[in-house]
Every structure is written in structure tokens, then in C-alpha cells.
């Protein structure tokens, strides 16, 4: 029996490790703001507690940000007059990633960074090599987002619309355009394909169905004023930064319930970014299943009858 217990223990340890490795981590929020004589980026947990920060006054004000699957932060500075810098999760500045600042930074699932300048959208490889993705935008995009199929959506503030592009940059036309979509300034897409668009004029967030039809004014009665940037996590919680009197950041649940995360102490304007939370890896889940089977086999193992050697069919 002692031998069987010792044989079972390694399988149990490996099984526990595999299960732990497949657990999803909590995301982090990045928040940029600026004031008189300072610009900075803060790292927060999803309850608004400050974890770390970096002063970017010398580089400028981060007007758009995005995070890759390794947790590195990419920040575009000073709208169109700056550069894009890359930072490690601990805020080590890795220098200029791209020499031109772009609007609406967003990553696709392959790790390519997208951003807009003028009427064009650019695709940048992990090595920093840029190619033109689309040049027939309906206005000048200010925000970009991807759906689960890899289609790209662009919010055009000047033409009050959201345009959709295929994975290879083909213009699929106007996806969302209503009378209330006045000067959109950011957009996000949840895991079910619903599109959320924040508007500067209406000071609310409009929700659209996956087919582009209008769904509702999301949390309109509880909105913080002058929204400037949004993010959404895997649980459908929407994070909204507002340039109101107190420069607040709020979190809205999928049913529109609001909770303030930051209620003061911020400078004006700002941008949000959130770390992507990967699904449990196929390897980890596969390993978990295999080790679970192995553990059950060892647990149920019985001593082998020596006579069974002469009859292999009786062997376990």
C-alpha cells in the first residue's frame, strides 16, 4: 500500500499544478491623465486600487493605449504629434516602438497593433513594421476594436458612424449609424458581439446588437458626464473614464449597475487600457484531463496477481 501511495503522489502534485496553471488571472487597468505640469500613466486593479504609476511628462500625454498578450503596454502620445512607446508590465520604458503616434490603438489576436492616422488605418507587426490596412475610412477614425471573428470596427467622430472592415481590410460598410451617435469617441465589443459606443455630445454609451441594429442606451441614467475612454473585461464589465468635474472612472456591470472606482485626484482627459485575460490553455486543460485519468488509475490500482503474468489479459 505504501508503494501505491508514493506512486500516486507525483500524479496528484502534477494534477494540482495543471489545474492551477489553467486558472484565469484577473486583469489590470491602465489609466492616463494629465494636469498642470504633469502627465502620467497609472496601473490599477479592477476595483480601482493603485498598483503602480509612471510619470510621462517628458514624453507627453498618453492619448491612446493598448496591452498585448504578454502584458506589455503600448502608449501613443500627444495625439498625432508624438510617438508610440512600449512598456513592460512593471513600467520599464523599452523606448520608441513606432515613430508616429496613432489613434485608437488595438491589438488583434495575432499580436499585431492597429492604429489610425487621418483617413487611414495601419497594421504594425510585433517587430514594429507598418503596413497600410485600410485607406477608405468614412472620416477620420478615433477608436478601433475587434470582434471575436477578427473584424475591425472604427468609430468616426466627424461622420458620426461606426465602420466595419474584414480581417484583410475590405470595407464592409457602415455598421452603426443613428441620430444619437453624435461624435463617438470610443468603442468596445463584448464576448457576445454587442458593440458599445461612447459619445461626447450625448454623454452616454449606446449599445448595438451584433447585426448593427440599435439595442439601447446603456446605463444612460447612471452615466458619468463627458466620457473619454472605455474598456471591457471578459466578464462583460464596462469601465468608463469621464472628464467631468471630478475626473472619475466607473465600472458598469452587464446589466448597467454602476460602481465608482476613482472619484477624484485625476488630471483632465485620459485614456484607458486593460490587460487581456487569456482563456485556459489547451495544453493545461489537456494535461489536467490526462493527469486526472492517471491519478484515478493509480488510486484504483491493485496488486498484480503473479499468475496473471501467464495471462496478460488479467493485467491492469
Beta bridge partners of 106: 114
Whole-model pTM? 0.81
Q: Are 271 and 63 within 8 A, CB to CB? A: yes
d(CA 185, CA 176): 14
Burial (CB < 10 A; 0-12, 13-18, 19+), residue 198, is: buried
d(CA 313, CA 292): 24
Q: Which helix (H) or strand (E) holds 122?
A: strand 120-124
d(CA 65, CA 42): 12
Angle between helices 2-21 and 282-299 (to 10 degrees): 160
d(CA 37, CA 128): 31
Any residues with CB less than 8 A from the CB of 53 and at least 6 apart, and which? 40, 41, 42, 43, 91
Where do the structural domains in the chain lie, given as residue ranges? 2-20+281-314, 24-274
Per CATH, domain 24-274 is 3.40.50.720: no
Per-residue pLDDT of the chain (316 residues; tens, 9 = 90+): 444 444 444 444 444 444 444 445 679 999 998 888 889 999 999 999 999 999 999 999 999 999 999 999 999 999 888 999 999 999 999 999 999 999 999 999 999 999 999 999 999 999 999 999 999 788 899 999 999 999 999 999 888 899 999 999 999 999 987 666 888 889 999 999 999 998 877 678 889 999 999 998 886 655 666 788 999 999 999 999 877 656 788 899 988 888 888 877 777 777 999 998 755 444 344 444 444 444 444 444 444 444 444 444 433 4
Q: Are 181 and 173 within 8 A, CB to CB? A: no
How confident is the model at residue 179, as a pLDDT? Answer: 64
How confident is the model at residue 220, as a pLDDT? Answer: 65
Structure-block grid coordinates of residue 25: 488571472
Amino acid at each position: 500500500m505504501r508503494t501505491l501511495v508514493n506512486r500516486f503522489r507525483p500524479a496528484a502534485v502534477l494534477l494540482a499544478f495543471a489545474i492551477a496553471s489553467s486558472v484565469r488571472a484577473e486583469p489590470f487597468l491602465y489609466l492616463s491623465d494629465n494636469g498642470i505640469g504633469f502627465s502620467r500613466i497609472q496601473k490599477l486593479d479592477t476595483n480601482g486600487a493603485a498598483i503602480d504609476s509612471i510619470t510621462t511628462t517628458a514624453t507627453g500625454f498618453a492619448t491612446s493605449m493598448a496591452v498585448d498578450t504578454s502584458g506589455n503596454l503600448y502608449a501613443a502620445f500627444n495625439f498625432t504629434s508624438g510617438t508610440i512607446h512600449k512598456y513592460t508590465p512593471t513600467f520599464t520604458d523599452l523606448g520608441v516602438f513606432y515613430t508616429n503616434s496613432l489613434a485608437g490603438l488595438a491589438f488583434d489576436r495575432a499580436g499585431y497593433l492597429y492604429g489610425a492616422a487621418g483617413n487611414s488605418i495601419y497594421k504594425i507587426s510585433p517587430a514594429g513594421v507598418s503596413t497600410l490596412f485600410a485607406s477608405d475610412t468614412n472620416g477620420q477614425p478615433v477608436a478601433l476594436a475587434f470582434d471575436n471573428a477578427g473584424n475591425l470596427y472604427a468609430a468616426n467622430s466627424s461622420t458620426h458612424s461606426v465602420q466595419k472592415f474584414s480581417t484583410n481590410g475590405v470595407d464592409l460598410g457602415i455598421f452603426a449609424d443613428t441620430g444619437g451617435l453624435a461624435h463617438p469617441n470610443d468603442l468596445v465589443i463584448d464576448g457576445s458581439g454587442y458593440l458599445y459606443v461612447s459619445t461626447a455630445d450625448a454623454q452616454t454609451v449606446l449599445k448595438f446588437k451584433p447585426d448593427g441594429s440599435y439595442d439601447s442606451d446603456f446605463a444612460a441614467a447612471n452615466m458619468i458626464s463627458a466620457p473619454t475612454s472605455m474598456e471591457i473585461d471578459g466578464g462583460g464589465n464596462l469601465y468608463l473614464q469621464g472628464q467631468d468635474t471630478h475626473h472619475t472612472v466607473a465600472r458598469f456591470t452587464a446589466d448597467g449597475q454602476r460602481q465608482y472606482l476613482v472619484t477624484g485626484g485625476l488630471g483632465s482627459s485620459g485614456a484607458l487600457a486593460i490587460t487581456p485575460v487569456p482563456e485556459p490553455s489547451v495544453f493545461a486543460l489537456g494535461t489536467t484531463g490526462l493527469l486526472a485519468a492517471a491519478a484515478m488509475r493509480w488510486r484504483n490500482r491493485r496488486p498484480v496477481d503473479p499468475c496473471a503474468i501467464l495471462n496478460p489479459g488479467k493485467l491492469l
